[in-house]
């Protein structure tokens, strides 16, 4: 069997087009423009790239983008004051503080200072609790994007065996909650799980989010399973020339594609869906704010 490729890049473009269409209708009918504020502290190069890309796509769907760049040595009180100001600003419907923050800043304190209804990352403790108890919540963007691709590919997920490899607060735990919400039988595995190969071999759905290059070999994948690879790992690629590198996922793609029914590529799978879901969450926050 050769797996169907789940094209996250194309799917993300359709999600963004739907968001753009809805934004245009809100502007027309209510004269409201959804606004997303992104706060970047310091000059981490990877964060710079993400923030620039978020800003560009925010504007492309017709929303207002507000970028706040603060120096690495910003005092916690000053960052909290900025968040307070954004919480009170009715033109700002979504707030995202880019992580990681410099070491002297308390990430949890900062995230929990964001008004929960503007927390488009879904990281605020109240959104985490709401998701866990099945209440209306802001849902973290990466797992939301994974769920949308799974539903699009499989239709109903009810009764399927799903394994999530990775237990992070940003991906693994919320992913497990979302799959439970769709009536999957969910196992949360991680790097210490005993007999991980056996656990994965029973799964109809595999979501890999461990952050280790090609950690999951292809022979762990059940015939016909759906594989969602969240990992983005840069590895050396001497075959492309000296000092060259390439991106790989947490799953050995070439091997897994022999067994899987469908699989997301890296790059071009989960990655583009994350920003598309951030824009969708900002639109949701705007709609909720304006009834």
Is residue 166 part of an annotated ligand binding site?
yes
Name the active-site residue from 119, 121, 182, 250: 121
Closest approach of ligand GUN to the CB of residue 197, in Å: 29
Closest approach of ligand GUN to the CB of residue 28, in Å: 31
One DSSP character per residue, 234-282 reads: EEE-GGG-TT-EEEE-SB-HHHHHHH-SEE--SSSSHHHHHHHHHHHHH
Is residue 168 part of an annotated ligand binding site?
yes
Is 121 a residue of the active site?
Answer: yes
Residue linked to tokens 């800003």: 55
End-to-end CA distance of the chain: 49
Instruction: Give the Cα separation of 144 and 154 in Å (integer).
Output: 15
Q: Which two tokens stand for residue 108?
A: 């949890």
Is 194 a residue of the active site?
Answer: no
Closest approach of ligand GUN to the CB of residue 211, in Å: 11
Is residue 167 part of an annotated ligand binding site?
yes
Instruction: Give the Cα separation of 190 and 181 in Å (integer).
Output: 21
Question: Which three-class secondary structure state does DSSP give residue 202?
Answer: coil
Name the active-site residue from 98, 204, 222, 250: 98
By beta-carbon distance, which residue lies closest to ligand GUN? 99
Closest approach of ligand GUN to the CB of residue 99, in Å: 4
**Residue closer to ligand GUN (CB basis): 24 or 49:** 49
Is residue 95 part of an annotated ligand binding site?
no
- Report the largest interatomic distance among the alpha carbons of the chain, rounded to a whole angstrom: 57
Residue 166, C-beta contacts closer than 8 angstroms, at least 6 positions apart? 172, 190, 207, 208, 209, 210, 211, 230, 250
For the chain, strand residue ranges (E) read 4-5, 35-41, 64-70, 94-97, 161-165, 185-189, 205-208, 226-229, 233-236, 245-248, 262-263
Residue linked to tokens 């929303």: 63
Residues that bind ligand GUN (CB under 6 A): 96-99, 121, 141
Angle ∠(50,53,57) on CA atoms, nearest 5:
140
**Residue closer to ligand GUN (CB basis): 132 or 232:** 232
Q: 267: buried, middle or exposed (CB in 10 Å: 19+, 13-18, 0-12)?
A: middle
Closest approach of ligand GUN to the CB of residue 281, in Å: 11
**Residue closer to ligand GUN (CB basis): 201 or 212:** 212
**Residue closer to ligand GUN (CB basis): 147 or 160:** 147
Q: Binding site residues for NADP(+), as ranges?
A: 166-168, 232
Which residues have a catalytic role annotated? 54, 98, 121
Q: Binding site residues, as ranges?
A: 166-168, 232
């Amino acid at each position: 069997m050769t797996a169907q490729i789940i094209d996250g890049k194309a799917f993300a473009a359709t999600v963004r087009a739907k968001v753009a269409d809805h934004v245009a209708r809100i502007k027309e009918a209510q004269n409201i423009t959804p606004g997303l504020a992104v706060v970047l502290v310091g000059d981490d190069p990877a964060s710079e790239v993400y923030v620039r890309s978020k800003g560009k796509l925010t504007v492309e769907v017709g929303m207002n983008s507000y970028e706040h760049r603060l120096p690495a040595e910003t005092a916690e009180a000053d960052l909290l004051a900025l968040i307070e100001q954004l919480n009170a600003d009715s033109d700002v419907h979504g707030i995202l503080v880019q992580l990681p923050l410099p070491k002297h800043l308390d990430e949890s304190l900062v995230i929990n200072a964001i008004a929960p209804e503007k927390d488009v990352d879904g990281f605020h403790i109240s959104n985490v609790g709401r998701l866990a108890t099945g209440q209306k919540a802001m849902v973290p963007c990466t797992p939301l994007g994974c769920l949308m691709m799974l539903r699009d590919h499989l239709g109903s997920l009810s009764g399927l065996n799903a394994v999530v490899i990775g237990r992070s607060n940003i991906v693994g735990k919320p992913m497990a909650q979302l799959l439970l919400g769709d009536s999957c039988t969910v196992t949360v595995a991680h790097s210490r799980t005993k007999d991980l190969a056996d656990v994965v071999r029973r799964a109809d759905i595999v979501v890999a989010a461990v952050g280790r290059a090609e950690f999951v070999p292809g022979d762990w994948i059940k015939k016909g399973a759906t594989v969602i690879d969240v990992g983005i790992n840069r590895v050396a690629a001497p075959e492309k020339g000296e000092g060259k590198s390439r991106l790989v996922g947490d799953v050995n793609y070439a091997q897994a594609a022999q067994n899987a029914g469908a699989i997301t590529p890296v790059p071009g799978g989960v990655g583009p869906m994350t920003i598309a879901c951030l824009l969708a969450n900002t639109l949701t926050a705007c709609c909720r704010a304006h009834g």
